Structure 1
Amino acid sequence: MKTLALLFSLFFVCPLSLWSQSASELLPKLSEALSEGKDSYAVSLFRQSASANMEQTEMFYWTNVDKNSAVAPKLANEMATLYKKKRNYDKAYLFYREYLQYSPEDVSALVACAEMEMMRGKEADAVKTYEKVLMLDADNLQANIYLGNYYYLQAENVKKKLEEDFKKISSPTRMQYARYRNGLSDVFTGSYSKAKKYLQRVLQLFPSTEAGKTLEKIKKVELELK
């Protein structure tokens, strides 16, 4: 009975004929719904229009939607979600940033924004966004996993470079050896320690085999430096 009632209400709010209409046909109805304050109906029309023609609907958002209205962030989030599904990460990122202007502490949107930054090759930006996520939700699994792995890989790359440079010295002096060891120590107290903190948090939240393996590698580095 509940399912039938839900279907009936959907047909009542969104007539079947709307689902086959083009964006050009839907957008005037969207304008009317917005002017009449029918926000829920407007969101439904906006979603259908975007499915029919993303570019045309996006242009409508930028030129016809009152950005101070209560419905504006909902429409921005709709565009972000749809572009993400289409794997248009640049556009998705743009609209997640737009949405976050209205709700800067929305953790799910911040996580999605960080994902888009990562997909766009902006790893450093993703780090900042995930760190903001953890300020709001210290137990966010995705943020802890990303930051743990990011700082571990950063540490590994620096450690590898230090080792390669030191091996090039055929007869290192005590000063050169001390500088090499200090460099390794700095890497451990920096990136390795950060990775350790985040990955330990991961294990507290979820029994991750990969996080456990990485922590064992970090422990091995720590023992080598003693």
Structure 2
Amino acid sequence: MKTLTLLFFGLLLCPMPLPAQTAEILLHNSADALSAGKDDYAVSLFRQAAAVGAEQAEMFYWTNVEKNSAAAPRVVHELAVYYKDKRNYDKAYLFYKEWLQYYPEDVPGLVACAEMQLMRDEAKDALVLYRKVLALDADNLQANIFLGNYYYLQAEQKKKALEDSYKKIASPTRMQYAGYRNGLSDIFSNGYNKAKGYLQKVLQLFPSTEAGKTLERIMILEKEMN
């Protein structure tokens, strides 16, 4: 009897956990909250729904959320962050891009979208996005780092290709040598020099050792060119 009594009180003190709500219930309640104008509560419920049923939450956004409502971009942002955290970069990019439909000049949104494109091996599109970031915020550290490294690596590749091609000429003429030097000059002007500007900005914003080393290599090349 004593054992049964202890068991009874043990159950009272340690109640069984309630079953987790399904995505359907959470989204239904989110819809009710949106209708009642309780956006904060609706978004909170939507966040929970995405965690247990992301695809259902997506469909809810596309079919149940008024796109001109104040809650719409908040819901989109929840999906973008959820998929980024899950490393589903295709879906994260889709929803960051959707976010930018609402706020096309939002710098954090543009940076996040560019990050997703890098993870998707879409460097050229990331370049466009980071340029837009700098047009809005010239001191954005992440954009300056990316553009500095991008132009530096592009210049390195072009320089190597030019040098490899020139080395294949057994006895270059003066005209061929002049063409080679002009090619190097063009690569420096349109590649290394652009990288130099962005990396100098990086060092103004943050004491980056790597940016400093890259700048040193560019300075050495500049002396060689002259």
TM-score, normalised with respect to structure 2 = 0.91
The alignment partner of 2:150 has SS state of: helix
Give the distance between the partners of 1:99 and 1:115, measured in 2 at CA: 14
Identity of aligned residues (%): 67
Cα deviation, residue 67, structure 1? 0.5
Are 1:85 and 2:75 counterparts?
A: no
Give the distance between the partners of 2:196 and 2:22, measured in 1 at CA: 53
Give the distance between the partners of 1:204 and 1:197, measured in 2 at CA: 11
Partner of 1:167: 167
> 5 Å matches for 1:5-20?
20=20
Partner of 1:156: 156
> 5 Å matches for 1:57-206?
57-206=57-206
The alignment partner of 2:104 has SS state of: coil
Give the distance between the partners of 2:29 and 2:95, measured in 1 at CA: 23
Cα deviation, residue 20, structure 1? 2.2
Deviates more, 1:29-38 or 1:163-172: 29-38
Cα deviation, residue 46, structure 1? 0.4
Give the distance between the partners of 1:95 and 1:37, measured in 2 at CA: 24
Partner of 1:41: 41
Deviates more, 1:19-28 or 1:150-159: 19-28
Are 1:27 and 2:27 counterparts?
A: yes
- How many residue pairs match? The answer is 210
- Residues 6-65 of structure 1 show CA distances to partners (whole Å, capped at 9, x for unaligned) of xxxxxxxxxx97x92110111111111111111000100000000011011111111111
Cα deviation, residue 108, structure 1? 0.7
Give the distance between the partners of 1:22 and 1:108, measured in 2 at CA: 32
Give the distance between the partners of 1:220 and 1:27, measured in 2 at CA: 60
Give the distance between the partners of 1:207 and 1:68, measured in 2 at CA: 43
Q: Which runs of 4+ in 1 moved over 2 A?
A: none
Partner of 1:225: 225
Partner of 2:4: none
Letter in 2 for 1:215: L
Give the distance between the partners of 1:50 and 1:144, measured in 2 at CA: 34
| Uncovered stretches (5+) of structure 1, i.e. residues with no partner | 1-15
- Residues 138-191 of structure 1 show CA distances to partners (whole Å, capped at 9, x for unaligned) of 111111001100100000000000000000000000010000000000000001
Partner of 1:3: none
The alignment partner of 1:20 has SS state of: coil
Largest Rg, 1 or 2: 2
The alignment partner of 1:37 has SS state of: coil
Deviates more, 1:21-30 or 1:145-154: 21-30
Cα deviation, residue 203, structure 1? 0.4
Cα deviation, residue 105, structure 1? 1.2
